[in-house]
Chains A and B, each alone.
Chain A
Amino acid sequence: MTAVAETAGSFGHEVERSGAPLIDVEGVWKIFGRNADRIVGTADAELSRGELRAKHNCVAAVRDVSFQVWPREVFVVMGLSGSGKSTLVRTLIRLIEPTAGRVEIDGRDITSASQAELRELRRHTSSMVFQHFGLLAHRRVIDNVAFGLEIQGVSKAERLRRAEEVLTLVGLDDVGNSFPDQLSGGMQQRVGLARAFAVDPKVMLYDEPFSALDPLIRRDMQDEVIRLQHETGKTMVFITHDLPEALRLGDRIAIMRDGAIVQLGTPEELVGSPADEYVANFVRDIPRSHVLTLRWIMRDPAPGDEDGPRLDVRTTVRNAVPLIVESEKPVCAVEEGRVVGVVDKEAVLTAIAGESG
């Protein structure tokens, strides 16, 4: 089914949200500047960016951000440059110290962790992929991949064995002895991916990993991330400024503006009911039929509707169109063998018509 490739992130796996979240972020602030500590909690925290800069010479990069990420979920943070998304992801493992708020990962309080505890977390629980790769130019690819394990003190034979495994996983079997500058940008980022995977983390953080790549290669790499996600089931926090990328990958997406989250929801929610003008402007050019699924446009089944052709409730409108057009009766949307709703031609036309307006 081609639908899997279209919205793989939201379609390929189910996120179990009944347990405890793997990442729990509560009221995180990051303010850069001298008197940063004195602002959160006062009325000044409500000031706009420009006013805050004028009054305190401070920049609020992240403002009161809260969210949870559950195991196996792909959580995307999307925003334009300067919206604070890269700062936010860095505060999660305290590459940048948050000014206020609390972050828990895997049940451990990160914000109060000692330096040693923090190192343990960074070594075993999380790993990160960077926009400009951050590879070590003086080391071979395989040593780059093994670097995280080297930091942990894993023996040389063991870490090289593991690095080779991971290189195979990302499709770079034969470049282990090359040096980073001998590879293309896309391949260098595969090395970056491999390095992050090599330590077998629970949480993977991606900071705009594909922004520096050509569009075609970017698409390849997105597929690669989707594939790896399916094979390994990692939890991911993915930062991007590219909305199509966010829609493709994310189970849920948080849209940031001026340091705050303006909307948090599934791709369908963002496209189907944008929270404000800002988000609406963002999603305006996205073809709704590519994102919205039957679940979004179906109505409750009336008696006698249930004998129409059946489609999975997670099928996108675009992929359902041929069947709905051909069918005499409304199409039944099915979830776990049960009919949960029906979709008729009118509903499809309304959804598609929404694209132009």
Chain B
Amino acid sequence: MAVAQAAGRLAAPPQRRWWRGRAGLVVAIVVGMAIAFIGWRNQVVWPASLTWNALAHHLDSFQVWLSDHRNVPHPSVFFRGFNGLANFLDNLVGWLTSLFFKLTWAGTTVLGVLVVLRFGGRRAALGTAAAFLSFGLMGLWESSMRTFALTLASVGLSLAIGLPLGVLAGRSDRFQRLITPVLDAMQIIPAFAYLMPIVLLFSVGPGAAVVTTLIYSVPPAIRITALGIRGVPTNTVEAAAALGATRMQTLFKVQLPLARRMLLLSVNQTILFALSMVVIAGLIGGQGLGDVVTSGLYSNPALALLAGAAIVIMAIALDRATEAMANRTDPAHRHLTEGKQRQLRLFTLGCAAAVGLAAGLGNALGAGSVWSRWTGQSWLLRQVQSALDYVQNPDTFIFHITNPIGNFLVQYGLEPLRSFFVELPWPAMTFGLALIAFLISGLRPAVVTLAMFSLIGLTNEWTQAMDTLSQVLVATVLTMIVGIPLGVWAAESNRTRRVMRPILDVLQTLPQLVYIIPFIYLMPVSIVPGVIAGVLYASPVVIRLVEAGVREVSPHSVEAAGAFGATRFQTLLKVKIPLAREAIMLGVNQGMIMVLAVVVIGGLVGSGALGYDVAQGLQQSLFGQGVLASLAILALGIALDRVTQGRRRRRLEDLA
């Protein structure tokens, strides 16, 4: 009897609640939304009574009040502290910049190259030399050094904050749990959402640029440091404890030295994250290449492109140099004899002397602070300009490819979707999406989605937000069309993976705005550059996630399928892809968030929507409107994240 019961229990499939996990229901909801669209098109707009119209005005007067109180001769203690911080950040950047200028280009180049040579080896040093040389040849030496100073200051502060917190998170599970959602939020929020509040607090200048960069670059510093500390073998830590080491002794003699390579990799990542923010920082007073890019977008596109190239070169050089340093100086793998150490010490002294000599000579021979002679800037600008003219000329071959693609996207993707979202009755939109969130992710995400959409309506940014949403959706679909097949291909073929890897590396290193620039000219159709740039920005991550997911499918399952005579294609379709579904879902989630970050930046170059309102806020001092648009971006980002997060994250939380 008991056996029969048990067998019955085993035989019955696990009860699935009727409202769970049904693709059909999602489709039904979408159909319902379409019916609402046809029936009540443009008739139910977000009611004015539910809009807080005065909010923008309040925010404007708050800003005026704030700047009035900050700039009086004797500000209160709070503002004095705050101004002090802002000044400190400004001065830090200024001091570093003037250091590079005083060293002259000769001294700075020699310093950079020798530091990399000493710690990173010959190849990395060659790359660094080439990078410095190219800044000079492009005639962008001064801007490059300002950007470099801004990056260094931000990285220094990120590490000063990130390393201690990372060590803490590495040693304490509770702190790790506490800080993880904060870090998630810092990385998910598009930069455009916090530019305005930062400008409000710090006013435009290098200080604000540093803070913007910090928000983005501190999380990787903390995460990777914690990872490094946790990666130290437990039994080594245990051995130290068994010998009676104090917590501090364990930290400094065991954990930090053994985590050293990871710590240096966290420096590497922090630099890349910081650098990818400098273009945006150019919008709020970060001088240097970012400034050249953002102001050149309208007035001098060739120069903007050139500056963009300089940023890319800087990113790649810094990436390679710091990675080489991390690998080469790892004490666990590089065993130095005492003779070798003495040699290295002598070499270091020699390097210092060489830097002094180069700086002295540079000053004496009048190299000045700026590489002014022998630049190829005007020649380069002519080349870039002629390339731009070429792609924009309706008679050329390229134009016949790019123009129809752009038009197609607008005509059959962006425009219909935009009008669907904008003209759809708002209750259908809000509750429809909340229902989808409920089906895919569960109750709490659905509630959050509902709240976020209400917030968007409240801020009077409904139309713009729906516009942005349509762009995000089109870009996400394109990202998936590109990313999933490429990811599967990379997982199936080692050769494809080898070919794709450096390309993905470079794409991931590039700052968000840099993606957009070329497409402004390649596809000069208002919204398209932002969308295409979003696809390019998000694709590498999606490809990597899908590839990892497919590769991680248990070899036993694959082998079993093969044993039953499945073809490669069958194995892929029936075993690997279904088993990699969670990775693909994660790809959708991450891809969407990344696309949003780029699409709103597109507001600078004609994508309109929420990004345009923020850009207006920054450039025309329409402060209140800018903050509200920022809020709407934030709300949209959170809603999209929640709708697509799936049940995966909850499951992870259950485990933790």
Contact = CB atoms under 8 A, between A and B. Distances in A.
Interface centre among B242, B253, B257, B258 (most CB of A within 10 A): B242
A199 B258 contact: no
B242 A128 contact: yes
Nearest to B241: A95
A134 B236 contact: yes
Contacts of A118: 244
Given A137-B258, A138-B257, A182 B242 contact: no
Interface in A129-162: 130-138, 140, 147-148, 150-152
B239 A130 contact: yes
Contacts of B236: 134-136
Interface stretch (B329-337, B535-543, B546-554): B329-337
B559 interface: no
A219 B257 CA distance: 34
Given A136-B254, A136-B258, A138-B257, A123 B243 contact: yes
Interface in A91-148: 93, 95, 118-124, 126-128, 130-138, 140, 147-148
A178 B337 CA distance: 9
Interface centre among A122, A136, A181 (most CB of B within 10 A): A136
Given A136-B258, A181-B332, A182-B335, A130 B243 contact: no
Interface in B208-241: 233, 235-236, 238-241
A126 B242 contact: yes
Describe A's contact surface by its main secondary structure.
mixed
B249 interface: yes
Contacts of B258: 136-138
B246 interface: yes
A177 interface: yes
A241 B331 CA distance: 35
A151 B245 contact: yes
Nearest to A94: B241
A32 interface: no
Contact of B233 (A95, A119, A132, A178): A132
A247 B445 CA distance: 60
B260 interface: yes
A91 to B, nearest CB: 13
B529 to A, nearest CB: 49
B247 to A, nearest CB: 9
Contact of A130 (B238, B244, B333): B238
A90 B239 CA distance: 11
Nearest to B249: A151
A177 B246 CA distance: 27
Contacts of B241: 95, 122
Contact of A122 (B235, B243, B253, B254): B243
A132 B235 contact: yes
Given A95-B238, A132-B233, A151 B244 contact: yes
Interface string A74-99: 00000000000000001001010000
Interface centre among A137, A148, A152, A182 (most CB of B within 10 A): A137
B243 A127 contact: yes
A67 interface: no
A131 B235 contact: yes
B239 A134 contact: yes
A18 B236 CA distance: 38
Contact of B244 (A121, A136, A178): A121
B232 to A, nearest CB: 10
A213 to B, nearest CB: 15
B367 to A, nearest CB: 42
A138 B258 CA distance: 7
A151 B243 contact: yes
Given A120-B244, A137-B258, A138-B332, 14 more contacts: A95-B241, A122-B244, A123-B244, A127-B243, A130-B238, A136-B254, A147-B243, A148-B244, A151-B245, A151-B249, A152-B244, A181-B332, A195-B239, A199-B243
Q: Which 8 A-B pairs have the closest CB atoms?
A: A123-B244, A134-B239, A122-B244, A137-B332, A138-B331, A128-B242, A134-B235, A148-B243
10 contacts: A119-B246, A122-B242, A132-B233, A133-B235, A135-B236, A137-B332, A147-B253, A148-B244, A151-B243, A177-B337
